[in-house]
Amino acid sequence: MIDITAIAIVGIIFSTIYGLFFLFVRRRERLTMMERGYDPKAFYNENTTDRFSSLKYGMLFIGVGAGMLFGNILAELTNIDKETALFSMILLLGGIALTLNYFFEKKEKSVK
């Protein structure tokens, strides 16, 4: 079996390097903008709160939970392996939940 510790250490090292690189590049970009007289806050989105994020995650988790339930039922009633039934139903119902969330958000935004 693959030693998961080595994979985790490599992932942590590379993500740390990427994070530091991103911070330094962003800092340098802001300093350059200030030197040239631009306002660096112009690139920030003032409306960072997403009202639909809790709905999206709630629907996703409901879909995943329903997928686990239906996957277990499907595995018990048919000859499908339990892992296959769980994996397929979780992805299917999670995707359906996110698709429904998209249509709810689209409808709500078109009303405004």
What local confidence, expressed as pLDDT, does residue 48 receive? 53
What pLDDT score does 112 carry?
66
Distance CA 9, CA 65 (A): 31
Q: Are 41 and 51 in contact (CB under 8 A)?
A: no
- The C-alpha atoms of residue 23 and residue 92 are separated, in whole angstroms, by 37
**pLDDT in the model for residue 63:** 93
- Per 3-state DSSP, what percentage of the chain is helix, strand, and coil (rounded to 5)? 80, 0, 20
pLDDT at 5 (0 to 100): 84
Q: What is the mean pLDDT of each run of 10 residues along the chain (112 residues)?
A: 79 92 85 81 64 86 94 92 92 93 88 72
User: What residue segments make up the domains of the chain, in order of their start?
Assistant: 4-43, 53-103
